[in-house]
Structure 1
Amino acid sequence: MEVSTIASAERKLSPKIYDAARTRGIILDAAEEIFAELGYSAARIDAIAKASGYNKSLIYQYYGDKLGLYTEVVKRADQIGEQITGSFISELLKDDKLASDPAAFKSFLESTTRQAVSFLLEHRSYLRILFWEAAEDWKTWNQITYRPDDDPQMHKVALAAQKSGILRQDLDPALFPMLIMNVITMTLQSSARFEHLLGSLDSPQIREQTTRQIVQFIIHGVMEPSLL
């Protein structure tokens, strides 16, 4: 096949490829909003189709069923979070001093907490999905074919930090990543309830103040008190 013929064929295929990717993105955006608003159990493909502007048959063609669609919503959000925080955290975890130097460990806690807060505030629908899952005892989450990385490296660092006397001796290292994430998510999710006292997280000043408080709570909660 001549080069000109190949180029012509590519030009004809490109819009279709682009449209398919764009269509998937629009459907996932609509699905994420519906799942965030109603939770998995109450969400309906009809509502997602209406919100996206595409028919149900196309959604089923792309994702198979509601669970397949939900899986892709979770997968996309997790991968976006990984793009934002994954490489950053991975670099911090490579620091040989992390589990033996209190200052390095404290800096690690602050940096990872700030990254997580920033991501969740920019993706609040995903935060709501997490709370719907918690309300439904994570039943759907445990069925999905994609398993988000729970970062076993965090557990490994916690074990080493406890061995060196940085992590509290009365803290189970297995709970280390769970406690950090729960403090972050619960604080952010509950902020609207206490907005009359706290102020709105839409304000950069309130957001920074709240982030600092979360950081300090985590640091003082997991590090050996004598090192603070």
Structure 2
Amino acid sequence: MEVGIIVSAEGKRSSKIYDAARTKGIILDAAEKIFAELGYSAARIDVIAKASGYNKSLIYQYFGDKLGLYTEVVKRADQIGEQITGSFISELLKNENLVTDPAAFKSFLEAMTREMVLFLMEHPSYLKILFWEAAEDWKTWNQITYRPDDGTQLNDLAIAAKKSGILRQDLDPDLFPILIMNVTTTTLQSISRYEHLLDKKDSPQQKERLIEQISKFIIHGVMEPSLL
């Protein structure tokens, strides 16, 4: 807990005890929403300040500038994803038979896809931020100091799986994590575009259908066909 001057977005000053971590969390929640709605370039600190209920001077005090705030939004989302999916995937990667047993490799792809889909469906703002970045050629993403490492383990896995004959021989292992991520994110991002062809997207049945179909597409796209 800290004692300090809180300046609201309306400019009212009050000296009181406040929880810095909670305050930062509220600001990050507001920033994530605004960055998701407008993208980095169009988002403004004063708009984020108003949405959070705090003065922009406090945002600068905590995060330095807009890029620093954006970096913390990305970092927090990545860390949440790591908490939810990272430890789970790391545990699966410990399976010694993963790159020699086609059934184990297939089960891994199914489980990983499930965790990725559920995480992104539960955190739609992060999905929108990713697509804003893609639309702007990842120029802001490549400027931030925090660098999510979301592909190294999968790349190493793909190299080993190709050597053992599980990964299809005409697939470049370097593209393995990119293909999986893009099949997953693009499918989820496109649901609203084709909602007239689908059931309610947030229903349990539709979630399971999505997970199953994305998994099958990935499995049949990356595994050696003769093993399926």
* TM-based fold match above 0.5: yes
RMSD: 1.6
After superposition, where does 1:159-170 map in structure 2 within 5 Å? 159-170=159-170
TM-score, with length taken from structure 1: 0.92
1:1-228 matched pairs, under 5 angstroms: 16=17, 19-228=19-228
The alpha-carbon deviation at position 150 of structure 1 amounts to 2.4
One-letter identity of the residue aligned with 1:148? P
Deviations 1:22-48 (A, max 9, x none): 100000000000000000000000110
State the Cα distance separating 1:11 from its structure 2 match: 11
Q: Which amino acid aligns with 2:60?
A: Y
Cα deviations across residues 42-71 of structure 1 (Å, max 9, x unaligned)?
A: 000011000000000000000000000000
List per-residue Cα deviations over 1:107-151 (Å, max 9, x = no partner).
000000100000000000000000000000000000000000123
What residue identity is the alignment partner of 1:225? P
CA–CA distance in 2 between the matches of 1:56 and 1:202? 36
Give the deviation of 1:12 after TM superposition.
8.6
Q: Give the superposition deviation at 1:87.
A: 0.8
CA contact under 8 A between 2:2 and 2:19: conserved in structure 1?
no
| Aligned 8 A contact 2:2 2:20 in 1 | no
Higher mean alpha-carbon deviation, 194-203 vs 31-40, is at: 194-203
Is the 8 Å Cα contact of residues 192 and 200 (structure 1) preserved in structure 2?
no
Q: What is the CA-CA distance between 1:169 and the residue it aligns to?
A: 0.3
Bigger share in strand: 2
Structure 1 distance, partners of 2:140, 2:210, is: 31
Query: Could you tell me how far apart the structure 2 residues matched to 1:151 and 1:170 are?
Result: 20
8 Å contact kept, 2:168–2:225: yes
Q: Which has a greater percent of helix?
A: 1
Partner of 2:9 in structure 1?
A: none
The AA in structure 2 aligned to 1:146 is Y
One-letter code aligned to 1:57: S
- What whole-Å deviation, never above 9, does each CA across 1:49-100 have from its counterpart, x for those lacking one? 0000000000000000000000000000000000001111101111110001
The ranges of structure 1 where at least 4 consecutive aligned residues each deviate by more than 3 angstroms after the TM superposition are 10-13
- Give 1:203 shift: 1.2
Q: Percent identity of the aligned residues?
A: 77
The residue identity in structure 2 corresponding to 1:111 is A
Structure 2 contact 89–112 (Cα < 8 Å) conserved: yes
CA distance in 1: counterparts of 2:203 and 2:3, whole angstroms: 47
Is the CA contact 1:100–1:164 (under 8 Å) kept in the aligned structure 2?
Answer: yes
Decide whether aligned partners of structure 1 residues 162 and 54 sit closer, same or farther in structure 2, where only a CA change above 3 A counts: same
